Amino acid sequence: MGNLARLRHFPLARWGRAGVFRLLVGKEGWPLQFRAPETHDHLMRLASPHIYVHLPFCQSLCPHCPYNKRRYQAELASQYGQALLREIRAFLELHPDFRWETLYFGGGTPSLTPDIIEQVIALLAPHASPAPEIGVEVHPLHGTHAALARLHSLGVTHISLGVETFHAPSLRLLARGYTPRQAEQAIDQALRQGFACVDVNLIYAIPGQPPAASIADAAKVATMGVDQISAYPLFGFEHTPLASIMARKGLKPVSDRERLRAQKGIARTCLERGWQRASVWSYIRPGVRPYTTVTRESYLGFGAGAGSLVHGHQWFNTFSIPAYIAQGERKPALVLTMPPRLRRFHWVYWRIYETRLSYRAYRQRFGREFKKDFGLLAFLMKGLGWAREEDETLILTERGAVWAHRVQAFYSLAGIDHLWRAGMAEPWPDRVVLM
């Protein structure tokens, strides 16, 4: 069996996506597209207690990386930090009574610019609710005692370590710049600091990485005592240089069968240890509260390319770092205002991703019956063995989790690939049609 995810850009796949999307969401949401906003005052008045801050600088660039990032330059990073503080200050001036609950620094490599992290936390501190959660993505090379102790002293509670794998040839292919031993030491250090949650990111289905190595990665990390494992397959985003490196080295993409072996093996490794599945991608140790940013019902993004989602409006800042630094005001580059059914479907999609969808929660959230709106979806998922129903809750099965990955490759990843590619190609695009 070949690599199914690669088929997502074929015309037939696009046609199939369109058909299923229209069936589930209806004509109103079609075509799914982001546009440059004509006015944005109404968006700037929206707030959410969940904040995402994008810090785009990296010491070196990994060839598989689809994110909005740039090689670190001290002067540019300092200008970016000033622009970021300006954007947050402009928001706070409009929202003097603002209270936030969670703050997450993603990237890029946030741990490369701890001074900016410190300044942002200091600016937002007066607006924190009691017991706020602060998460930071940390590169294993920054997993030293001094760097982690500094983050801990700033009030950081959650660490997400981008270990990716302990398989040395895969680390070299992805140009990660550290050895398996250094990755292990970074985990050790993070566990010693007393963070509320240490999450380790793992990537499987890297060309040349045997499924057994991916399964061993999960077993090792679970044994070390981390709180959460987020394991996802290497995404074949078309706008990254990895494809040409693989062609040069004669490496083939991992087949769907191998990917599945790794995915199922990782799931088994975690579940057999009594861990729970917290989402399609992540597992938590017993007694730990899952930590996630992508599934929040609303969030506010600051920084270049940062996304926000509030009351059915989703918008992105310009992805261009120079344009972000130069802009004189808070200004979204691309906006999607979801029609009501798309808004409900969006909610349903992320609850399925979290593996549990409560019909009561749907009723409370939208004042409508889930079965009336998405009965066909529930019927199909149960019929295919992807989900079971229990106490007014649709629960994803392990088989469903496997298929959720495939559906993601066809829908979300195709959409994200398109949006990020267009967003990175020009600072202020007129519109981006996702499907």
Q: What is the CB neighbour count within 10 angstroms for residue 352?
A: 23
Looking at 2-10, 101-109, 230-238, 319-327, which segment touches ligand SF4 (CB under 6 A)?
101-109
CB of 317 to ligand SF4, least distance (A): 17
Q: Tokens at residue 339, please?
A: 């029609």
CB of 237 to ligand SF4, least distance (A): 11
Give Cβ neighbours of residue 163 (< 8 Å, ≥ 6 apart). Answer: 140, 183, 186, 187, 200, 201, 202, 217, 221
Instruction: Identify which of residues 139 and 259 has a Cβ nearer to ligand SF4 in the complex.
Output: 139
46 in contact with ligand SF4 (CB under 6 A): no
Instruction: Identify which of residues 108 and 429 has a Cβ nearer to ligand SF4 in the complex.
Output: 108
107 in contact with ligand SF4 (CB under 6 A): yes
What is the C-alpha to C-alpha distance for residues 43 and 310, in angstroms, rounded to an integer? 9
Binding mask 53-92 for ligand SF4 (x = CB under 6 A): -----x--xx--x-x-x-----------------------
Looking at 75-83, 87-95, 105-113, 243-251, which segment touches ligand SF4 (CB under 6 A)?
105-113
CB of 69 to ligand SF4, least distance (A): 4
CA 42 to chain centre: 26
CB of 299 to ligand SF4, least distance (A): 19
Instruction: Identify which of residues 203 and 309 has a Cβ nearer to ligand SF4 in the complex.
Output: 203
Q: Tokens at residue 381, please?
A: 């998922």
* List 109, 230, 282, 314, residue binding ligand SF4 (CB under 6 A): 109
Instruction: Identify which of residues 198 and 288 has a Cβ nearer to ligand SF4 in the complex.
Output: 198
What is the C-alpha to C-alpha distance for residues 65 and 238, in angstroms, rounded to an integer? 10
Give Cβ neighbours of residue 209 (< 8 Å, ≥ 6 apart). Answer: 165, 167, 169, 170, 254, 262
CB half-sphere exposure, 233, CA atoms < 13 A: 32
What is the C-alpha to C-alpha distance for residues 286 and 300, in angstroms, rounded to an integer? 30
Tell me: cis bond preceding 31? Omega within 30 of 0 counts: yes
Closest residue to ligand SF4 using C-beta atoms:
65
Tell me: cis bond preceding 400? Omega within 30 of 0 counts: no
* List 29, 81, 108, 135, residue binding ligand SF4 (CB under 6 A): 108
CA–CA distance from 35 to each of 84, 229, 323 (Å)?
Answer: 23, 36, 18
Instruction: Please state the three-class secondary structure of 63-97 as a single string.
Output: CCCCCCCEECCHHHHHHHHHHHHHHHHHHHHHCCC
Instruction: Identify which of residues 305 and 400 has a Cβ nearer to ligand SF4 in the complex.
Output: 305
Instruction: Identify which of residues 163 and 407 has a Cβ nearer to ligand SF4 in the complex.
Output: 163
170 in contact with ligand SF4 (CB under 6 A): no
CB of 65 to ligand SF4, least distance (A): 3
Question: No. of H helices and E strands in the chain?
Answer: 16, 19
**Interactions with ligand SF4, residue window 298-337 (CB under 6 A):** none
Residue ranges in 155-311 assigned as alpha helix (H): 168-173, 180-192, 211-224, 242-249, 256-272
Instruction: Identify which of residues 354 and 417 has a Cβ nearer to ligand SF4 in the complex.
Output: 417
CB of 221 to ligand SF4, least distance (A): 18
Instruction: Identify which of residues 58 and 401 has a Cβ nearer to ligand SF4 in the complex.
Output: 58
Interface ranges with ligand SF4 (CB under 6 A): 58, 61-62, 65, 67, 69, 107-109, 139, 162
